[in-house]
């Protein structure tokens, strides 16, 4: 037997909606058995600042490589980390 779902109210703003969902069980409003996983590839992921101590010669090398690729050296660090992590994950699978 299908459960009767409540109607989701209209919200004046995001804050009102956030407060509503914080106090209400979404399963009374949404049939989660019909949900599907989706990707949002163009969303910018949130970032977290870290402090990383590197030898000066390594930073100099990174800056040189970044200059050749015409990217900021901190961006190059992220690119290299991502490539290496992807490689390690493929190899461990």
- What residue spans define the domains of the chain? 1-32, 56-92
- Res. 81: pLDDT tops 60: yes
Contact 76, 69 (CB under 8 A): yes
Phi-psi region of 70 (alpha: psi -120 to 50; beta: other; left: phi over 0): left
Phi, psi of 43 (to 5 degrees): -75, 140
Q: What is the pLDDT of residue 10?
A: 96
Q: Please report which confidence band the pLDDT of residue 43 belongs to, taking 50, 70 and 90 as the band edges.
A: confident
Give the tokens for residue 79.
């690119």
- Res. 93: pLDDT tops 80: no
Mean pLDDT of the chain: 93
- Res. 34: pLDDT tops 60: yes
- Res. 2: pLDDT tops 70: no
CA dihedral of residues 79, 84, 86, 91 (deg, nearest 10): 170
Give the 3-state secondary structure of 8-68: CCCCCCHHHHHHHHHHCCHHHCCCHHHCCCCCCCCCCCCCCCCCCCCCHHHHHHHHHHHHH
């Amino acid at each position: 037997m299908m459960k009767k779902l409540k109607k989701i109210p209209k919200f004046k703003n995001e804050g009102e909606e956030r407060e509503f969902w914080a106090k209400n069980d979404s399963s009374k409003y949404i049939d989660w058995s019909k949900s599907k996983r989706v990707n949002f590839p163009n969303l910018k992921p949130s970032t977290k600042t870290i402090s990383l101590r590197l030898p000066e010669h390594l930073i100099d090398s990174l800056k040189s490589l970044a200059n050749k690729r015409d990217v900021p050296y901190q961006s190059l660090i992220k690119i290299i980390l991502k490539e290496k992590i992807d490689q390690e994950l493929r190899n461990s699978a």
